[in-house]
Structure 1
Amino acid sequence: MTDENDYKRNVSLLDATMFVAGAMIGSGIFIVSADMIRNVGSSGWLILLWCLTGLVTIIGALSYGELSGMFPKAGGQYTYIREAFGKKMGFLYGWSFFSVIQTGTIAAVGVAFSKFAAYLFPSLGEDHILLQFSSFTISAAQILTIVLIIGLTAINTLGVNHGKNIQTVVTIAKLCSLIGLIGFGFYFGANGNVWHQNWQNAFSFRKLSLDGFSNYSGFAVFGAFAAAMVGSLFSSDSWHTIAFIAGEVKKPERNIGLSLVLGTIIVTALYLLVNFVYLSALPLKEIAFAKNDRIAIDASSRLFGLTGTRIMAILIMISTFGCVNGLIITGARVYHTMAHDGLFLKKAGVLNKNSVPANGLWIQCFWASILCLSGHYGDLLDYVIFVVLLFYIITISGIFKLRKTQPNLARPYKAIGYPVLPIIYIIVASVISISLFIYKPKFTWPGLFIVLLGLPIYSYLNKKKLSNESLQKV
């Protein structure tokens, strides 16, 4: 197997910041506010949830800076968990990362790419069924998603520069498109009455259905709160993926932490402003029940007409394209590190002639493509977010553990606000996770089962590794 030192450090601070922002800005901001409004029923709570999500994300980025400075090498979150809690816990994360977190996110964002492509080309939609076996169907949208994943995987086997350049250019393009939506949205929507109507009863927490508003009873409000945050958390996720390619970042002990903070702040601000545009363009009910939850398309139609709507659909496709590309690049680096620990397929630990883990990229491509056939966008979000939060809690807890167990380890950057801010993150993430576990068991139980399934797999791999080591000694 090839060592991680064979990676080439070609990723600058700008590139790293674009990786963070590009991985965060995918499809969610153009879709998920519809479901959030259905759960909270008011503009005030919609904005509050986006603010809370942004705050939690920035706190997480500030905390991750310390970990990235301590371990400035490929593997990111897997490495942090392994160093803090041992190989078994590290493997549980790596296993979950491969089986649902990274591959599920690639699939979910890829499905969203196809959803917006279908706006321009209806024959590519989910309702255009190509194959059917009993109740199992394969749509044109699913095939398009798989083609997208395979194509970007092939490009990224050619070297990190190809994927890096795509990511930087596409991210700048989608940042400009978001800024354009915000600027023109406020300009054209400023004179309407929609904004004032949306802010009446702005902080009434209630359910919005086609029949109107209804109040929650008892503890159901916690379930609605958690369900509403699934979308905003997913949209703000993947901010930490730059740490996975730390072996290819210039001055990683400085640039990883800095890019995390810069990227999350930029995206959080843009997300809030985009939601203000939605509220200025569409009544709450139209936001909640936009066709296929494509709020950005409906808002653009209201603000700019048919031409502007088509342009917005193209820009959203560019956005999701860039997000999928960033996720594909970063994921394979984790499998490469795990393979060196004897905890993943040995072939994933080999770099090709272009200094990238091509085998890991293709293994990831295969499983993400399978997941594309397994569910719709919303289902994939629910499966992913519970497991993601669980390991974020574990990772942030690792800061406390490592300060006790490895106090003399070099820390070029220390978590701002320690211990208060990391504790706040852990509490907020725990409350959301527990609420999801109670009120959305259909998706959280399978997620937990996938994590725990890693235990017997780890036991098998560990025994196999020990057996091989014994044979080598003989």
Structure 2
Amino acid sequence: MDENTPHHSLRKVLGLAFGLAVVVGSTIGVGILRAPGSIAALTPDAGLILGCWILMAFYIVLSASSYAELTTMMPKAGGAYNYIKRAFGNYAGFLNGWFDFLTNAIAPAYFCIVLGEYCLLVFPQFAGHEKIIALGFLTFFTAIHLPGIKAGSAVQKTTSAIKIVLFLVLIVGCFLAQPLSADAVQVTGQMLAGGGIIAFFKAVQLISGAYDGWMSVSFFAEEDSDPARNIPRSYLLGAATIGVLYVLINAAVLYILPVEAIARSPLAASEAATAAFGSWSGTFMTAVAIFSLVSILNAYMLIPSRIMFGLSRDGFFARQFMAVNRGGTPYRALLLCYAFAFVLICISSFETLFAISVFMMTIVTGFAFASLIRLRYKEPDLPRPYKAFAYPFSTWLALVVTFILFIGFAVSDQLSLFIVLVFTVVSFAGYKLLVKPDNSDTFD
């Protein structure tokens, strides 16, 4: 970075409330409103469905415990690539850092477009201007985050709290309403053929996708005022909150609707809301969806710039992008992420990109778990303010489950596998170009 580039440190102003808000806010989204129907079609048994959600909640809590050890051991901006770099060297860190960046930089564009579509439900007169609305959301949230971290933190805490309240209203409303029979529910769509081990794993894959985002606190570790205390609590309380809410939402939907009706409905949560709230259901579910998306978008406007900041500081990208303003925002990184998302919104080719991002995230998560195991052997004396509970069982279980998911993605999505392999080959040339030979693997 040249002498004229302004540089300030990231500000240590975040705490437990933000950690919980970003975990919950970046995880609970519209997916939980849509997934129950597809899952019921694959596994049309209420007990098995709830069992799958509970099983994955347990997996997420174990995973969060492993991540908490890594993050408190290396409380640096950028997330998992820091741990992977320390455990497996510069190139592994470089590759996974860019996988992680692309995964999270694609997300704001996708969420802005979906927000634009939901806004048309409230303002149908703006039909045909979805892209302009999406770009408006992107620009608005960039403007919020540009001055500093405090405004973004306040928005995250507020929107996450409202979202939880709305979901609790849905849960309570369903349990207080009279359960419906299959004949009383008007549903659309065709029930998929459920049953069998393949259908079970597809259902688990959908559930794991709904839980994605639980590791978000890792990107902000350097900005936490007391990482040794706050980060483990953020991970574990956040993961537990998500798990409990997801199980309760599914229990509420299964209580008010028969499994057969859920399996035939592409929006089972909306069907449940109709039964619980009657004529208010459409407005209520639109509000749930919008606040869910706004909370997620706010989190994903923060995350990519932190990854880019870390990559730039470690020499894995141009040093100019580690510039931080007085408010604690890596503003050049944020503006570059804004430009990237702006272009993606304009070209609107997100289906393939979104599939690729899920594939990349599986790789990063698997490497993160492996790095914990390796560092336990490689550097047993590193300070560890928090240690993963039930280690090595918990971390090995998380690693094995992640590997199974990776194999499933590789078999079912060969295009993403091919693109990731090509990116890996090309990235080595980028690594040689960007990273100096004397770039150290040691933790500082």
Describe how 1:234-253 pairs up with structure 2 within 5 A. Answer: 234-253=209-228
Q: What letter matches 2:284 in structure 1? A: I
Match of 2:409 in 1: 436
Aligned to 1:113: 115
Q: Offset at 1:374? A: 5.5
Report matched runs for 1:15-414 at 5 Å: 15-99=18-102, 101-122=103-124, 130=128, 140-189=129-178, 191-193=179-181, 210=189, 212=191, 214=193, 221-222=197-198, 224-284=199-259, 286-288=261-263, 290=265, 293-373=266-346, 379=352, 381-414=354-387
Identical amino acids, percent of aligned pairs: 25
Cα displacement (A) at 1:460: 2.0
Shifted more, 8-17 versus 369-378: the winner is: 369-378
Deviation track 1:223-245 (CA, whole Å, cap 9, x = no partner) reads x4444334322221121121211
Give the Å deviation of 1:144: 2.6
Q: CA deviation at 1:46?
A: 3.1
The SS at the match of 2:382 is coil
Change (3 A) 1:74 1:324: same
63-72 or 447-456: which moved more? 447-456
What are the superposed Cα offsets for residues 43-68 of structure 1, whole Å, 9 maximum, x if unpaired? 34433332232122111101011111
Which SS does the other structure have where 2:386 is aligned?
coil
- 1:135 corresponds in structure 2 to none
Q: Work out the CA distance in 2 between the residues paired with 1:278 and 1:86.
A: 47
Q: Partners in 1 of 2:200 and 2:94 — Cα distance?
A: 31
TM-score where L is the length of structure 1: 0.83
Matched residue type, 1:296:
A
- The 3-state SS of whatever aligns with 1:76 is coil
2: CA distance, partners of 1:51 / 1:186 = 19
CA distance in 2, matches of 1:329, 1:376: 23
CA positional deviation for 1:376? 7.2
RMSD (Å), alpha carbons: 2.9
Cα deviation, 1:278-323, whole Å, max 9, x if unaligned, reads 2233444553454xx4443332223212223202311320121011
1:423 to 371, 396, 412: 396
Consecutive unaligned residues in structure 1, runs of 5 or more: 131-139, 198-208, 469-474
Give the 3 Å change call, closer, same or farther, for CA 13–453 of structure 1 in structure 2.
same
Aligned residues: 435
> Hey, what's the Cα distance between the residues in 1 that align with 2:234 and 2:7?
21
Contact 2:64 2:236 in 1 (8 A): yes
Aligned partners of 2:191, 2:268: CA distance in 1, in Å? 19
Deviation at 1:213, TM superposition (A): 5.2
Cα distance, 1:386 vs. partner?
Answer: 2.0
Aligned residue for 2:419?
446
Change (3 A) 1:274 1:356: same
Query: Which of the numbers 10, 14, 19 marks the counterpart of 1:11?
Result: 14
Distance in 2, matches of 1:444 and 1:278, equals 35
Distance 2:34 2:424 in 1: 28
